[in-house]
Chains A and B, each alone.
Chain A
Amino acid sequence: KAGVTQTPRYLIKTRGQQVTLSCSPISGHRSVSWYQQTPGQGLQFLFEYFSETQRNKGNFPGRFSGRQFSNSRSEMNVSTLELGDSALYLCASSLLPGLSYGYTFGSGTRLTVV
C-alpha cells in the first residue's frame, strides 16, 4: 500500500513567484491536512480538507491557499512568495477527519525561496 506522496521533493523559487505543491493521500483516505515546518516557528497547521471542502485553517495569510479534488488529492498554493516561506511543507492523510483515525505523513516538499 503506497504511503502519502508529496511532489516535488525539492523546489527553489524566486521571491514574488507563486508555487503549487501536491499531495496524494493513501488510497482510501479522504482527509488531508497540511503543515509548515521551519526552524524558527516549528510545525504549524495550515489547513485541513475533506470532501473537497476546507474544514479548518491555521493562522496564515491569504497568500496560502489550498484545494482538494474529487479523488482526494490535494494541492496547496503560495502566491507572492517571501523569503520566510522557505520551509518543509508536510501533508498528512487520514481515513476521515478526526484524530481518532490517525494521521499518516508524507516526506514533505522542501521549498527554498531565494
Chain B
Amino acid sequence: AQTVTQSQPEMSVQEAETVTLSCTYDTSESDYYLFWYKQPPSRQMILVIRQEAYKQQNATENRFSVNFQKAAKSFSLKISDSQLGDAAMYFCAVGGATNKLIFGTGTLLAVQP
C-alpha cells in the first residue's frame, strides 16, 4: 500500500520570498513517480512538477524545484520568488504500476503582498 503525508495544513509566504512544502511517502514499489499538483479555486488540478524515483537528480521547473530524498522517502517542493498566483492548495502524490495516484491531504499556501 502507498501512503502520502503532508504535515503542513497551511503555509504563508511573502511575495518574492521562498517557501518549502513538505511531503513524506511510503510505498513498497521499486518503480514509482512523485508529483506535486496545484489546485486553485478554479478546482482544476494542475501539474507543478514530476519526479521519477529512479532519477537521482532533483526535478526543476522554472521557480519550482524538489528535494527528493529517496532513502528518507521525502519529497519537498520549493517555490522561489513566490507570486500572488502561486496561492492555492498544493497536493503531493505518488503513483506506481497501477497508475493510480495516492494523494496527500494538501497544504494551503497563502501569498502575502
Contacts and interface: CB of A to CB of B under 8 A. Distances in A.
Interface stretch (A40-48, A65-73, A76-84): A40-48
A107 B45 CA distance: 7
Given A33-B99, A45-B100, A98-B99, A105 B33 contact: no
B100 A33 contact: yes
Given A42-B105, A43-B91, A99-B33, A104 B47 contact: yes
B45 A92 contact: yes
A8 B10 CA distance: 31
Contacts of A99: 33, 95-96, 99, 101
Interface string A73-104: 00000000000000010101000011110111
A45 B102 CA distance: 8
A25 interface: no
B106 A108 contact: no
Nearest to A104: B47
A42 B45 CA distance: 13
Contacts of A56: 98-100
Nearest to B93: A43
A35 B44 CA distance: 12
B44 A108 contact: yes
A58 interface: yes
A45 B96 CA distance: 13
A58 B104 CA distance: 16
Contact of A42 (B33, B96, B103): B103
Interface of A: 33, 35, 42-43, 45, 48, 55-56, 58, 88, 90, 92, 97-100, 102-108, 110
Given A43-B103, A48-B99, A56-B98, 6 more contacts: A33-B100, A42-B103, A48-B100, A99-B96, A102-B47, A104-B47
21 contacts: A42-B103, A42-B104, A43-B93, A43-B101, A45-B101, A48-B99, A48-B100, A56-B99, A56-B100, A58-B100, A92-B45, A97-B99, A98-B99, A99-B33, A103-B101, A104-B47, A107-B42, A107-B43, A107-B44, A108-B43, A108-B44
